[in-house]
Structure 1
Amino acid sequence: MPTFWLVVVLLALTALGFWFGRRRALNSAQGNPRELHSLPVYYGANVAMSVAIPALITLMIWLLAQPLLIENRVSATIPAELIPENTSIGLVMSDVRRLAEGLDEAVLQGVMTKSQSITLNTEASDIRAVLGTVGVALGSEVRPEVLEAAQSYRRLSSVGSTAMTLVCLVLALIGFGLSTLRTTKEFRARNVVERGVLALLILAASLAILTTVGIVLSMLFETINFFGLHAWSDFFFGSTWAPNFRGDSELSMLPLLWGTLYISAIALMVAVPIGLFAAIYLSEYASSTVRSFAKPLLEILAGIPTIVYGLFALLTVGPLLLKLFGQGEDGVLGLSWMTGATSVLTAGVVMGIMLIPFVSSLSDDIINAVPQSLRDGSLGLGATPSETIRQVVLPAALPGIVGAILLAASRAIGETMIVVMGAGAIAKFSANPFESMTTITTRVVSQLTGDTDFASPETLVAFALGLSLFVLTLGLNVLALYIVRKYREQYD
Structure 2
Amino acid sequence: MMLRSKRGNQRLIEQFIQGGTFSATLVSAFTTIGIVVVLLLNSLPFFQQVSVGEFLTGREWQPAGGKFGILPLVSSTLLITLGSAFISIPLGLMVGIFLAEYAPRKVRNVVKPALELLAGVPTVVYGYFALTVVTPFLRGIFPTIAPLNLLAGAIVVGIMTLPLVSSLCEDAISSVPRSLPDGAVAMGATKFESIKDVVIPAALSGIVASFILAISRAVGEVMAVAMAAGLMPNLTANFLDGGMTMTAYIVNTSKGDLPRGGIDYFTVFAVGLTLFFITLGLNLLANKFVRKYRQVYS
TM-score range, shorter chain: over 0.9
Which segment is superposed worse, 248-257 or 274-283?
248-257
Per-residue Cα deviation, 1:247-302 (whole angstroms, up to 9, x for no partner): x4211111101110111110011111111111111111111111111111122110
| CA distance in structure 1 between the partners assigned to 2:150 and 2:68 by the alignment | 21
Quickly say closer, same or farther: Cα 1:394–1:193, change in 2 above 3 A: closer
Distance 2:278 2:72 in 1: 15
1:442 aligned residue: 248
Q: Which residue of 2 aligns with 1:201?
A: 21
Percent identity over paired residues: 41
> How far is the alpha carbon of 1:303 from its aligned partner?
0.6
Report how many aligned residue pairs link the two structures. Answer: 298
Task: Find the aligned partners of 2:243 and 2:108 in 1 and give their Cα distance.
Answer: 39
Unaligned runs of 5+ in 1: 1-33, 40-187, 327-336
Aligned match of 1:134? none
Compute the TM-score of the two structures, normalised by the length of structure 2: 0.93
Among 30, 53, 67, which residue is 1:210 paired with? Answer: 30
Structure 2 counterpart of 1:261, from 49, 53, 78: 78
Contact 2:209 2:289 in 1 (8 A): no
**Hey, what's the Cα distance between the residues in 1 that align with 2:10 and 2:178?**
45
Equivalent pair of 1:230/1:457 in contact (CA under 8 Å): no
CA contact (8 A) 1:249 1:458 kept: no
Match of 2:207 among 401, 409, 412: 401
Matches within 5 A, 1:129-168: none
Residue in structure 2 matched with residue 222 of structure 1 by the alignment: 42
1:264 and 1:413 in contact (8 A); partners too: yes
2:107 aligns with: 290
Offset of 1:195 from its aligned partner? 4.8
State the one-letter code of the partner of 2:78: L
Aligned twin of 2:116: 299
1:371 to 174, 177, 183: 177
- DSSP-derived class of the 1:437 partner: coil
Correspondence list, 1:340-359, <5 A: 340=147, 342-359=148-165
Matched, 1:422 2:228: yes
Distance in 2 of aligned mates of 1:294 and 1:304? 16
CA contact (8 A) 1:263 1:348 kept: yes
TM-superposed deviation, 1:454: 2.5
Instruction: Report the Cα distance in structure 2 between the residues aligned to 1:307 and 1:214, rounded to whole angstroms.
Output: 29
Seen in structure 2, the aligned counterparts of structure 1 residues 402 and 35 have a Cα distance that, compared at 3 Å, is closer
How many Å apart are 1:443 and its aligned residue? 0.5
Larger radius of gyration: 1
Match of 1:382 in 2: 188
Aligned to 1:338: 145
Is the CA contact 1:307–1:418 (under 8 Å) kept in the aligned structure 2?
yes
Distance 1:474 1:235 in 2: 19
Question: Is this contact kept in 1: 2:213–2:283, CA < 8 A?
Answer: no
Larger RCO (CA within 8 A; separation ≥ 6): 2
Q: 1:316 to 1:398 in 2, by over 3 A?
A: same
Q: Aligned Cα RMSD in Å?
A: 2.3
Shift of 1:409: 0.6
Q: Is the 8 A contact 1:236 1:252 kept in 2?
A: yes
Q: Distance in 2 between matches of 1:491 and 1:197?
A: 29
Instruction: Decide which of 283, 293, 296 is 1:477's aligned counterpart.
Output: 283
**Compared CA separation, residues 430 and 388, structure 1 to 2 (3 A):** same
Report the AA paired with residue 265 of structure 2: T
- Deviation of 1:465 (Å): 0.8
Q: Deviation digits for residues 163-219 of structure 1, max 9, x if unmatched?
A: xxxxxxxxxxxxxxxxxxxxxxxxx88877765554333211211111100001110
2:20 is matched by which residue type in structure 1?
L
Match of 1:452 among 245, 251, 258: 258
